[in-house]
């Protein structure tokens, strides 16, 4: 049997000895390296990163992983001494962990979105690109008055702010910025103070305005402040967060739009870099940025910039009630307008009739139910305001070009493909 050029790593007195394999990459005497994964899965982003790590491990069958869900190894150095670790991927890296890994010569890959530690490879989101994407989302919807709300004492927030401001200025827009210091540990007093400050800030913005927040939690605070002030979202103030935290975005009212980072790709790339380090290869880059996946548009920004108050109010009413069998006449009564005038204003400001807007909102509701639930079409018809499932299907196909069933199958298949990693240079 001819020896191949494939090399494997074997533990030998605390170091790795490179030996050639015979007949393939897996030998009975090979030792699978122990890899520690420090990820608090309380954060949805960590779930996606771990999926990326797991995908790499499944395709390479390289190590035995242990998940430190509580990040105990960060605060308790004995964790690193009580077991022979051949590598660590951490979402919660601290100077103490960096020093401990250096002292014990444990390869460490940092996935925390902070400034890099010397000599430690870091994979993090491209925050400037996230800011650019947020500004372009609003500019494409015709907003002239843009604003950013973030934390001035965190680098990831200021990077997103700077990217947002740069993209806005390239398009000839100015930006109103509200930066405060993030306290780290949230308190009821801080939340109360922020609510009052955000209400005052939002009331002073020219309307309609578009606000990008540094992350979804801050966007949720902005939405709460808008509701407190009686400001219509998204008709008067559109809101966009970052991280696409599904639960937080869904619990906000209205549901939050958000820029989705590619956390899966970050995890996969982190595992790839660690694989190289365990094999004795130095990373080519110590600070790699991962492009965001895109904007996930929900109700908080799903609007065109409309300065006409009657149209804005009508759009808000339609968004809340389109799935309750409303009519154009009921919309006109709600906003104290005659039907002909409302029809004329809708065509002038948004380029379609009130009836077309009602149908558009219903279609978006159908899309959401097809993707987020396994409800049968009859139940989806009921929830989207249709008495008959058959009519819903005909209308959906007329407006989208495909049946509800075909749409569900296609989108779910595309979602699975998106979770496949993109190979990047390490």
Beta bridge partners of 10: 17
Does the 309-415 domain belong in CATH 3.30.530.20? no
Q: Where are the domains of the chain?
A: 3-125+264-290, 127-260+295-304, 309-415
Record the tokens describing residue 386, joined without a space.
């249709």
The string of pLDDT tens digits covering residues 121-152 is 999 999 999 999 999 999 988 899 999 999 99
| Gap between the Cα atoms of 247 and 274, Å rounded | 31
| pLDDT score at 420 | 60
Count of residues for the chain? 426
| pLDDT score at 419 | 59
| pLDDT score at 422 | 54
Distant-in-sequence, close-in-space partners of 379: CB < 8 Å, separation ≥ 6: none
| Gap between the Cα atoms of 245 and 327, Å rounded | 35
| pLDDT score at 14 | 34
Distant-in-sequence, close-in-space partners of 348: CB < 8 Å, separation ≥ 6: none
| Gap between the Cα atoms of 154 and 306, Å rounded | 34
Does the 127-260+295-304 domain belong in CATH 3.40.50.2300? yes
C-beta contacts of 190-193 below 8 A and 24+ residues apart: 191/221
| pLDDT score at 372 | 84
* Residue linked to tokens 């139910």: 369
Pairing of strands 3-12, 15-22: antiparallel
Sign for the CA dihedral angle at 123, 129, 135, 137 comes to: negative
Give the number of other CB atoms < 10 A from CB of residue 47.
15
Instruction: Tell me, yes or no, if the two domains 3-125+264-290 and 309-415 fold the same way.
Output: no
Correct CATH for 3-125+264-290 of 2.30.30.60, 3.90.1150.10, 3.40.50.2300, 3.60.15.10: 3.40.50.2300
Per-residue pLDDT of the chain (426 residues; tens, 9 = 90+): 333 222 333 333 233 333 333 222 333 345 788 999 999 988 888 999 999 999 998 888 778 899 999 888 988 878 888 888 999 999 999 999 999 999 999 999 999 999 999 999 999 999 999 999 999 999 988 899 999 999 999 999 999 999 999 999 999 999 999 999 998 887 889 999 999 999 999 999 999 999 999 999 999 999 999 999 999 999 899 999 999 998 899 999 899 999 999 999 999 999 999 999 998 999 988 999 999 999 999 989 988 888 888 998 898 899 889 998 899 999 999 999 999 999 999 998 888 899 999 999 999 899 989 988 899 999 999 999 999 999 999 999 999 999 999 999 998 887 766 556 555 443
What's the Cα-to-Cα distance from 29 to each of 22, 25, 32, 90, 233, rounded to whole Å? Answer: 11, 11, 10, 29, 63
């Amino acid at each position: 049997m001819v020896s191949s050029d494939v090399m494997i790593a074997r533990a030998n007195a605390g170091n790795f000895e490179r030996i050639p394999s015979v007949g393939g990459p897996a030998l009975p005497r090979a030792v699978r390296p122990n890899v520690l994964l420090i990820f608090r899965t309380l954060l949805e982003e960590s779930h996606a990163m771990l999926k990326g790590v797991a995908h790499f491990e499944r395709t390479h069958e390289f190590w035995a992983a242990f998940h430190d869900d509580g990040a105990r190894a960060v605060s308790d150095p004995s964790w690193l001494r009580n077991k022979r670790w051949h590598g660590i991927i951490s979402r919660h890296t601290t100077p103490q962990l960096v020093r401990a890994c250096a002292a014990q010569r444990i390869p460490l890959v940092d996935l925390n979105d902070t400034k890099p530690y010397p000599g430690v490879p870091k994979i993090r989101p491209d925050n400037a690109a996230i800011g650019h994407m947020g500004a372009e989302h609003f500019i494409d919807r015709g907003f002239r008055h843009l604003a950013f709300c973030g934390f001035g004492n965190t680098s990831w927030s200021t990077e997103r702010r700077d990217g947002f401001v740069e993209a806005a200025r390239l398009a000839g827009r100015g930006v109103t910025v509200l930066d405060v210091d993030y306290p780290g540990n949230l308190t009821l007093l801080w939340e109360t103070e922020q609510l009052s400050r955000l209400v005052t800030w939002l009331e002073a913005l020219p309307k309609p305005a578009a606000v990008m927040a540094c992350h979804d939690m801050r966007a949720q605070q902005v939405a709460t402040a808008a509701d407190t002030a009686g400001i219509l979202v998204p008709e008067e103030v559109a809101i966009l967060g970052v991280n696409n935290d599904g639960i937080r975005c869904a619990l906000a009212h209205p549901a939050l739009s958000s820029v989705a980072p590619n956390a899966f790709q970050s995890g996969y790339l982190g595992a790839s870099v660690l694989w190289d380090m365990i094999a004795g290869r130095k990373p080519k880059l110590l600070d790699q940025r991962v492009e965001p996946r895109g904007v996930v548009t929900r109700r908080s920004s799903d609007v065109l910039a409309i300065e006409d108050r009657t149209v804005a109010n009508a759009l808000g009413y339609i968004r809340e009630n389109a799935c309750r069998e409303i009519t154009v006449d009921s919309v006109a009564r709600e906003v104290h307008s005659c039907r002909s005038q409302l029809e004329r204003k809708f065509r002038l400001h948004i380029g379609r009739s009130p009836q077309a807007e009602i149908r558009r909102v219903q279609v978006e509701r159908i899309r959401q139910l097809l993707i987020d639930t396994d409800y049968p079409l009859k139940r989806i018809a009921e929830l989207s305001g249709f008495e008959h499932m058959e009519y819903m299907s005909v209308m959906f196909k007329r407006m989208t070009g495909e049946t509800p069933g075909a749409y569900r199958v296609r989108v779910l298949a595309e979602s699975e493909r998106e979770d496949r990693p993109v190979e990047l240079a390490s």
